[in-house]
């Protein structure tokens, strides 16, 4: 699987010939000024929740690419009200798509949309595809529900927030990695704002001490997993 990082919580994963773009937020991220959103491709756009730092560029990229927008019922409704035609609402549970099986799973967070409307419950995604399985927790604190993930699938890697303050920090994410039984973690949701600036080496050391790997991708970087 091919992972490409666009900064903050925005990344794409190519699996089974499909491009899945998560939480598009690029233009509002001053660290991501080198990313041109017109070059971001997607067959599917998956939103974890309604906060602006996760859906800021969703409508524009969905409109240009025609990608199928997946998210909570409320987030999808908001996208449709803003002109998105191709959309698939979910609530927590499993569904099947071209790229494989998708589970929308709970997250402990909040989910107001940029226009102030209610975004439904925030969540994360478990993807089970032909090339392998991965879990993206979305914005969340550490939570016991993560222990369900390994009952559903054996993970090849996971994408977890490590910035703290609004979500887990690296220390919490190590415990999350235990809960989901995954030793390879890509850290996201760090450094974008003052509240979530982290020490990269310290964060990686915490994972190493637990016998796990933390990858902190550079914006624009592509990693084959």
Task: Kindly list the residues in this chain that would bind Mn ion in the complex (CB under 5 A).
Answer: 53, 139
DSSP summary character for residue 67: P
- Considering only the stretches 1-9, 36-44, 48-56, 96-104, report the one whose residues sit in contact with Ni ion under the rule CB under 5 A: 48-56
Determine, following the binding rule CB under 5 A, whether residue 51 of this chain makes contact with Ni ion: yes
Sign of the CA dihedral running 147, 4, 133, 100? positive
CB nearer to Ni ion: pick between 57 and 139: 139
Q: In this structure, what token pair is assigned to residue 186?
A: 């890509």
Residues 121-180 interacting with Ni ion (rule: CB under 5 A): 139
Per partner kind, with CB cut-offs from 5 to 8 A, the member of Mn ion, Ni ion, none near residue 206 is none
- Give CA separation, 52 vs 23, 170, 186, 202, in Å: 9, 23, 22, 29
Gap between the Cα atoms of 204 and 174, Å rounded: 10
CB of 108 to Ni ion, least distance (A): 11
Least Å distance, CB 64 to Ni ion, is 24
The interface partner of residue 74, options being Mn ion, Ni ion, none and the CB cut-off 5 to 8 Å by kind, is none
Cβ atoms of residues 75 and 107 within 8 Å: no
Shortest Å, Cβ 51 to Mn ion: 5
Nearer to Mn ion, 133 or 140 (CB): 140
CB of 117 to Ni ion, least distance (A): 15
Sheet of 68-72, strands arranged across = 87-90, 68-72, 44-46, 18-22, 11-15, 2-5, 222-224
Q: Which is nearer to Mn ion, 146 or 196 (CB)?
A: 196
Asked if 18 and 12 count as a contact pair (C-beta separation under 8 A), the reply is no
Per CB under 5 A, contacts with Ni ion among 53-112 are: none
Positions touching Ni ion (CB under 5 A) are: 51, 139
């Amino acid at each position: 699987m091919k992972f490409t990082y666009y900064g903050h919580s925005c990344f794409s994963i190519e699996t089974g010939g499909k491009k899945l773009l998560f939480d598009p937020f690029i233009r509002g991220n001053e660290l991501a000024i080198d990313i041109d959103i017109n070059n971001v491709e997607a067959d599917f756009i998956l939103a974890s929740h309604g906060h602006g730092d996760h859906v800021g560029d969703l409508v524009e990229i969905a409109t240009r690419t025609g990608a199928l927008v997946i998210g909570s019922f409320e987030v999808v409704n908001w996208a449709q009200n803003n002109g998105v035609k191709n959309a698939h609402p979910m609530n927590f549970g499993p569904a099947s798509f071209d790229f494989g099986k998708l589970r929308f799973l709970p997250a402990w967070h909040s989910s107001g949309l940029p226009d102030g409307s209610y975004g439904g419950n925030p969540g994360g995604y478990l993807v089970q595809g032909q090339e392998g399985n991965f879990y993206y927790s979305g914005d969340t604190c550490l939570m016991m529900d993560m222990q369900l993930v390994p009952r559903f699938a054996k993970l090849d890697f996971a994408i977890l927030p490590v910035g703290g303050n609004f979500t887990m920090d690296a220390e919490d994410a190590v415990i999350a990695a235990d809960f989901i039984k995954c030793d390879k973690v890509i850290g996201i949701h760090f450094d974008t704002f003052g509240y979530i600036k982290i020490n990269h080496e310290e964060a990686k050391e915490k994972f190493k001490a637990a016998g796990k790997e933390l990858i902190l991708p550079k914006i624009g970087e592509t990693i084959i997993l």
